[in-house]
Structure 1
Amino acid sequence: MPLEPVALPSDDWAGWLEERARGELRLAGTQVGALTEAADDAVALEVWNDAMIALGNAFAACSLLSSVHPDAGVVELAEQVEVEARSFSTDLFLDAEVFARLDAIDPAVLDDDGRRVLEDALRDFRRSGVDRDEDVRERVRALDQRLTDLEQAFSRHIRDGRRTTTVPASALDGLPEDFVADHPADDAGRVTISTEYPDVHPFLAFSRDAEARHAVAATYYDLAHPANDPVLSDLLATRHEKATLLGYAGFPDYDAETKMIGTGAAIAEFVDRVAAESLEAGERDVAVLRERAAQDGVERIDISNSRYYAETVRREQYDVDAQQVRRYFDFAKVHDGLLAVTGRLFGLEYVAVERSEARTWHEDVSTYDVLADGERLGRIHLDLHPRERKYNHAAQFDLVPGVAGRQLPEGVLVCNFPRGLMDHDDVVTLFHEFGHLLHHVLAGRHTWVRFSGVATEWDFVEAPSQMLEEWAWSADVLRTFATDADGEPVPTALVEAMRAADELGKGMQARTQMFYAALSYRLHEERPTGEDQLTARMFELYDAYSLVAPIPESHFYAGFGHLSGYKSAYYTYMWSLVIAKDMFSAFDEDDLFAPEVAQRYRDRVLVPGGSKDAADLVEDFLGRPYDTEAFSAWLSRRPGA
């Protein structure tokens, strides 16, 4: 029989969470018990897979609802269940009896996929300390519990710490008409700008009021400060203690062991190599902005004015006015265009599911079944607009990990886009995040849940999404859906000018990314404590890597949510970009819908999920090992060339 999507509730989400998440945890416990009693080795590994499916279902439900549900009570319950799931996972991977049963499995009775699953499982047990003495295991157990609490607190302070800045209504001079209409002045002639993306990004890009931009930037880059200062200090120390207790030099080495990069030292080397390679282009970018800023009597390019002057230069020197560009990117058209483009590219069909059938946690959420050749591959949910208590960045969440013959993959796109006209940057972000969603669905038909979805090494997971961004820069692609109010498609000449203008700033942006990566790595390597040390080290790394200066009152690290999820490995964005540029070189830029290469990419990179090492997936697609040539050529190319 065809698999059915998971049944979501109409109103009792707390009850559903109890049944779905806690029920799956109980099921996982039963399966773990059966595993230790299984006499047949192949059966034992199958039971392990059953337990991992149940545990994955529990984690997916509570992780998603804690980030998107509008009811604070449901969010609190989801966080509680996530603590229970992590505690279960910690206990499981410290269970010497379970480890001994898996370790006793004869690899000869397994096929290649089974052996890969077994090797990964045994590695994860050892990384948890199962083969250490009882004192070490108990300390690891306590540390894991502490890490759960700290990571939840760090994310919660960012999610719930939304702030606003009140500025004169005159500060809206330069902003788009729809933005101005959405921000009416109060009786005192003041308007409120929130730290949500649809507010702060346009304001920093277009407001002509330098003082107001500075105030908004100061609020935005101070998010979750000072609440997260002690949390981050404790988080860094606890991760370090766990890593060293397990025999690693520090947390970055522990973190890197399961990634393509391999070691913590290699992270530092990669960050410095990209920083050096992008220095010339970055300095050229900043010089252009500084020259334009000087006309306004401004000498310093910092985080309160860099976007504004980048937009100004693009408008004046490249004839690209972002506000005029926006009129071609109505959210509804972009939404439908994205589905049409990816459907055509990968041979997919998206069928809208009626709300009565696909009940969701909020009326903003739209649901689609994903079909190929008439067969349902999975289901996606799109939650794309901001609201209170919602995750305030952009990410793909699992709802159900797909398993062949057992459960359909279901994924959720969680973003914060405006409901009307979008900046082109938003369009690029939407394509990027949708790439993760496609990866989750297309790789959702493996027997082993370990291979399901975005299950490759963590420093590869961004590469497919970064590559899909290229379709949001193609004039031929954009003209299929990007039209103005009169139905006129975006002019090809404008898109070409946009691409040329986008080249301005790529070196500067690469250096900014290396600041983020260095901050992620160095905080874990050095473990500064307290506001004074954290702030001082952040400013030192700004000076060493970023070509855009900070503002003195900022505490960016406190709101840097990736320190919870990506930990010491933010470098992965740039590492993945190197691979993404190389993979894109296989496509014909004059015919991005060419079916042969798109299908080969789908079947050899996306569909396999985690069943192969990422380097092997890329080599299968390219016919050779990946290299850095395409990335270096892109980085060195001058704007307009």
Structure 2
Amino acid sequence: MTGLAPLHLPAPEHAADWLAARRTGLLAEVEGRVADLRAAGTGDPLAVLRSWNDITLALSDLTAVGSVYAQVHPDEAVRALGDRVVQQASKVSTELSLDPGLYAVFAALDPAALLDPAGRPDPVARRLLDRVLRDFRRSGVDRDETTRTRLRELDSRQVDLGQQLSRTIRADVRSVRVTPAQLAGLPEDWIAAHPADADGLVTVTTDYPDAVPFLTFAEDAAARRALRLEFLNRGWPDNDAVLRELFAVRREVADLLGYADWPDYASEVMMIGDGDAIPAFIDRIADLALEPGRRDRAVLLERLRCDVPEADTIDVADSAYYAELVRREQFDVDAQQVRRYFAVDKVRRGLLEVTGRLFGLTYVPVDPVEAGVWHPEVATYDVFRRPEGEGSAPGERIGRIHLDLHPRDGKYKHAAQFTLAEGVRDRRLPEGVLVCNFPRGLMQHDEVVTLFHEFGHLVHHVLGGRSEWVRFSGVATEWDFVEAPSQLLEEWAWDPAVLETFATDEAGEPIPADLVARMRRAEDFGKGYHARTQMFYAALAYDLHAREHPDLTARVRELQGRYSMFPYLEGTHFHCSFGHLDGYSSGYYTYAWSQVIAKDLFSAFDPDDLFEPTVAARYRDTILARGGERNAADLVEDFLGRPSTFDAYAAWLAR
């Protein structure tokens, strides 16, 4: 990719005009290329696939920037335009996928004619043809015109509803007002950043940099409960109606395409392969986690009873606070003391150093004006792959990344990696955006772990962005594998030797290794009930898609009672802020599925030397760099030298 230039983004004040012009140009390009493809017909199979690749790239270019701007741009008008751009790109994609004439072009191609320059069968090109034909069939291209028309309508509506769900969650920032005395227990820097207003009260919002510390450290139980209730009611009541319609749309799509239900349709292209396998997997994890979950919940309840002797249960309004007390009192880990070692700027630099060393990369800062970032706090880096054995030479530029790490009004509320540009070998540099909502000062260690996790997606996007085919570029594996590389990278945020390279206090003293060991033991506390909570989320995502429910809140209550170790909080409507119901749809189980694989992948690394170059390079080149060019199970088997098993995960959960 030597010599390729990254995107030239506009200054924030010119973003609307730039995006509108880009939309016009790319839509015209797609129209022209589709016309050329129709005219060429079924000629050289590779030429046909390359034409389709060009069309796919143009649509990806349109969708990617539109989606990023819709989620992060500070100007509401630009965010709204980004949503419209994504809608238009989706509409064009749907029209093409339902075009019988285009489908006929690909159906007539002979896979045996897909050869590499040496005249040998080209397995990646053949895989692409297979995936293209499958995509056409899954869109309903072989249905009658009436059905195709309805599928077009449903696809458009599904995009609209997903965007509406996300907008409502972004906009619905709730708060409680408390007295300064009710801030007892919170870190001093947090209190200093939250002065009282003219009425003598402090506003605490449901945004993560406010909510996470408050729910973890605030001693006032009533205030914690009030904030937790607001947090769980974000998006209510508007998103209840949105979700009802979204589920109905998806059920109708699955029915029109001949599937038993939406999970059956969605899982066809996953590693799991079968919708019925999802609840079986959920129950397997839930069963494994039951005894560890009960054990640790009993510890929480016992500690709660020291303060509230009559308590007979503990719920999520108190669980984070009492888990912190248990870690402090029984494991000698005080999260407020741990925070001293994790200033956000040091963590960011350390993350780049760690992943640079692990994957043979160099990150070079880019001037914000040159980068065209949408907000002054966004940090941009060009990513270079260092040549083997050539010291500190930066090597070849292979991508660009943007780190948008702090909250602001109108911005996406969680943590995720967004594609800004798909990489294509010798044509396009991959670019990605890390969107998070971390504090601007000190971070809790679990936030550091989250940053490592999300950066795992970003580095996967860049390292995997060297395929000839857009369809296989970057994080293009089966959806229930995409979390595995990110969950694997979390392990480096727990290693004492790694942490001491960047986790230092104000005096420059590195975090003590014995403290990290205690942190790790403390982190193991609660993993059983955390796993059960994840299975509650997974069961909810599956169940709400699999069957219709007259009362979504009632079903939330039922499933929480079945899977979670903590009872339902009366008057809450968690599903309305569960944004994964859009992107992950029925497949939230993928976090646990990927974690099983991640624990197995980690077993190949030397715990005494996580940077051992042979293993690190093999992992980088065998899994990350391949993108979606092979099935995920095959990539894992290539790396491990055997099929993946459940053993490492089960051992971790049991210990």
Q: TM-score range by the shorter chain?
A: over 0.9
What displacement does 1:264 show? Answer: 1.1
Task: Judge conservation of contact 1:22–1:81 (CA < 8 Å) in 2.
Answer: no
What displacement does 1:480 show? Answer: 0.4
Matched, 1:221 2:222: no
SS of equivalent residue, structure 1 residue 356: helix
Question: Take 1:348 and 1:21, find their aligned partners in 2: how far apart are those partners?
Answer: 33
Question: Take 1:617 and 1:409, find their aligned partners in 2: how far apart are those partners?
Answer: 21
The number of aligned residues is: 634
What displacement does 1:300 show? Answer: 2.1
What displacement does 1:353 show? Answer: 0.8
What amino acid is the match of 1:44? Answer: V
What amino acid is the match of 2:413? Answer: N
> What residue is the counterpart of 1:471 in the other structure?
492
SS of equivalent residue, structure 1 residue 79: helix
> What residue is the counterpart of 2:191 in the other structure?
180
> What residue is the counterpart of 2:391 in the other structure?
none
> What residue is the counterpart of 1:55 in the other structure?
59
Query: Which 5+ residue runs of structure 2 have no aligned equivalent?
Result: 115-121, 387-394
2:268 to 257, 263, 273: 257
What amino acid is the match of 2:243? Answer: L
Question: Take 1:586 and 1:354, find their aligned partners in 2: how far apart are those partners?
Answer: 39
TM-score w.r.t. the length of structure 2 is 0.96
Matched, 1:92 2:96: yes
SS of equivalent residue, structure 2 residue 446: helix
Matched, 1:4 2:25: no
What amino acid is the match of 1:124? Answer: D
1:304 to 308, 317, 324: 317
What displacement does 1:41 show? Answer: 2.2
> What residue is the counterpart of 1:534 in the other structure?
552
> What residue is the counterpart of 2:562 in the other structure?
544
SS of equivalent residue, structure 2 residue 417: strand
Question: Take 2:24 and 2:487, find their aligned partners in 1: how far apart are those partners?
Answer: 36
1:362 to 375, 380, 403: 375
Question: Take 1:550 and 1:182, find their aligned partners in 2: how far apart are those partners?
Answer: 32
> What residue is the counterpart of 2:45 in the other structure?
41
> What residue is the counterpart of 1:562 in the other structure?
580
> What residue is the counterpart of 1:459 in the other structure?
480
What displacement does 1:29 show? Answer: 2.0
Question: Take 2:436 and 2:312, find their aligned partners in 1: how far apart are those partners?
Answer: 35
What displacement does 1:109 show? Answer: 1.3
What displacement does 1:185 show? Answer: 1.4
Question: Take 1:35 and 1:109, find their aligned partners in 2: how far apart are those partners?
Answer: 18
> What residue is the counterpart of 1:502 in the other structure?
523
Query: Which 5+ residue runs of structure 1 have no aligned equivalent?
Result: none
> What residue is the counterpart of 2:75 in the other structure?
71
Question: Take 2:496 and 2:567, find their aligned partners in 1: how far apart are those partners?
Answer: 34
Partner deviation per Cα, 1:263-288 (whole Å, 9 max, x = no partner): 11100100011001110000011001
What amino acid is the match of 1:15? Answer: D
SS of equivalent residue, structure 1 residue 405: coil
Partner deviation per Cα, 1:388-430 (whole Å, 9 max, x = no partner): 0000100000000000111100000000000100000110000
Question: Take 1:483 and 1:20, find their aligned partners in 2: how far apart are those partners?
Answer: 45
Partner deviation per Cα, 1:193-242 (whole Å, 9 max, x = no partner): 11111110110000000000000000000000001011100100110001
What displacement does 1:22 show? Answer: 3.6
SS of equivalent residue, structure 2 residue 509: coil
> What residue is the counterpart of 1:117 in the other structure?
128
> What residue is the counterpart of 2:328 in the other structure?
315
> What residue is the counterpart of 1:589 in the other structure?
607
Question: Take 1:162 and 1:294, find their aligned partners in 2: how far apart are those partners?
Answer: 33
> What residue is the counterpart of 1:14 in the other structure?
16
What amino acid is the match of 1:141? Answer: R
What are the equivalent positions in structure 2 for 1:418-433 lying under 5 Å apart? 418-433=439-454
What amino acid is the match of 1:437? Answer: L
1:410 to 421, 424, 431: 431
Matched, 1:189 2:200: yes
What amino acid is the match of 1:422? Answer: M
> What residue is the counterpart of 2:25 in the other structure?
23
Task: Judge conservation of contact 1:21–1:57 (CA < 8 Å) in 2.
Answer: no
What are the equivalent positions in structure 2 for 1:94-493 lying under 5 Å apart? 94-110=98-114, 111-297=122-308, 298-373=311-386, 374-493=395-514
Question: Take 2:360 and 2:522, find their aligned partners in 1: how far apart are those partners?
Answer: 32
Task: Judge conservation of contact 1:218–1:554 (CA < 8 Å) in 2.
Answer: yes
Question: Take 1:176 and 1:133, find their aligned partners in 2: how far apart are those partners?
Answer: 63
What amino acid is the match of 2:599? Answer: K
Question: Take 1:22 and 1:550, find their aligned partners in 2: how far apart are those partners?
Answer: 49
Question: Take 2:178 and 2:537, find their aligned partners in 1: how far apart are those partners?
Answer: 29
What displacement does 1:108 show? Answer: 1.0
Q: CA RMSD in A?
A: 0.9
Question: Take 1:633 and 1:32, find their aligned partners in 2: how far apart are those partners?
Answer: 53
Relative to structure 2, which stretch is displaced further, 146-155 or 332-341?
146-155
Structure 1 stretches of 4+ with a deviation exceeding 6 A read none
Question: Take 1:131 and 1:563, find their aligned partners in 2: how far apart are those partners?
Answer: 28
What amino acid is the match of 2:281? Answer: F
What amino acid is the match of 1:107? Answer: P
Task: Judge conservation of contact 1:334–1:481 (CA < 8 Å) in 2.
Answer: yes
Task: Judge conservation of contact 1:205–1:307 (CA < 8 Å) in 2.
Answer: yes
Question: Take 1:26 and 1:253, find their aligned partners in 2: how far apart are those partners?
Answer: 36
Task: Judge conservation of contact 1:384–1:417 (CA < 8 Å) in 2.
Answer: yes
What displacement does 1:20 show? Answer: 2.5
What amino acid is the match of 2:450? Answer: T
What displacement does 1:31 show? Answer: 1.4
Partner deviation per Cα, 1:460-519 (whole Å, 9 max, x = no partner): 000000000000000110000000000000000000000000010000100000000000
What displacement does 1:358 show? Answer: 1.1
> What residue is the counterpart of 1:598 in the other structure?
616
Percent of aligned pairs with the same amino acid: 58
Relative to structure 2, which stretch is displaced further, 347-356 or 28-37?
28-37
What displacement does 1:144 show? Answer: 0.8
TM-score w.r.t. the length of structure 1 is 0.98
Question: Take 1:91 and 1:413, find their aligned partners in 2: how far apart are those partners?
Answer: 31
Matched, 1:616 2:637: no
Question: Take 1:544 and 1:340, find their aligned partners in 2: how far apart are those partners?
Answer: 43
Partner deviation per Cα, 1:323-349 (whole Å, 9 max, x = no partner): 000000001100100000000111100
